Amino acid sequence: MTHQRKLWGAVVLLAGFHAVVLFAGFFAPYDYATQDRDSPFASPARIHFVDQRGNFHPRPFVYAAASQPAPMQFFVSGEPYKIAGLFASRIHLFGVAKPGRIYLLGTDAYGRDQLSRFLYGGQISLLAGLLAAALSVSLGIVVGAISGFYGGWIDEFLMRGGELFLALPWLYLLFAVRAALPLHIADWQVFLLLVVVIGAIGWARPARLIRGVVLSAKERSFVLVARGFGASDIYLLRRHVLPQTYGIVLTQMALLIPQYVLAEVTLTFLGLGVSEPMPSWGSLLSSLQQYYVLSSYWWMFLPAILLIPIFLAYYSAADALQERWKSVSL
- Interface residues with another protein (CB under 8 A) are 164, 166-173, 175-183, 220-222, 224-231, 235, 240, 243, 262, 265-266, 269-272, 285, 288-289, 291, 294-295, 301, 304-305, 307-308, 311-312, 315, 330
Write down the least CB distance from residue 18 to another protein, Å: 18
Write down the least CB distance from residue 305 to another protein, Å: 7
Nearer Cβ to another protein (64/254): 254
SS3 of 87-143: EEEEEEEEEECCCCCCCCCCECCCCCEHHHHHHHHHHHHHHHHHHHHHHHHHHHHHH
Nearer Cβ to another protein (220/324): 220
Question: What values do phi and psi take at 317, rounded to 5?
Answer: -60, -45
* Alpha carbon separation from 12 to 7, 240, 306, 317 (Å, rounded): 9, 30, 17, 10
Write down the least CB distance from residue 79 to another protein, Å: 30
Rounded Cα distance, 6 and 105, in Å: 30
Nearer Cβ to another protein (17/301): 301
Rounded Cα distance, 161 and 195, in Å: 21
Q: What SS3 class is residue 82?
A: strand
Write down the least CB distance from residue 1 to another protein, Å: 19
Rounded Cα distance, 22 and 10, in Å: 18
Write down the least CB distance from residue 73 to another protein, Å: 34
Nearer Cβ to another protein (19/171): 171
Using an 8 Å Cβ cutoff, are 36 and 101 in contact? yes
Write down the least CB distance from residue 166 to another protein, Å: 8
Nearer Cβ to another protein (143/255): 255
Nearer Cβ to another protein (60/161): 161
H-state helical runs in the chain: 2-22, 24-27, 114-150, 152-167, 170-180, 187-201, 204-217, 221-228, 233-235, 246-269, 281-286, 291-296, 302-327
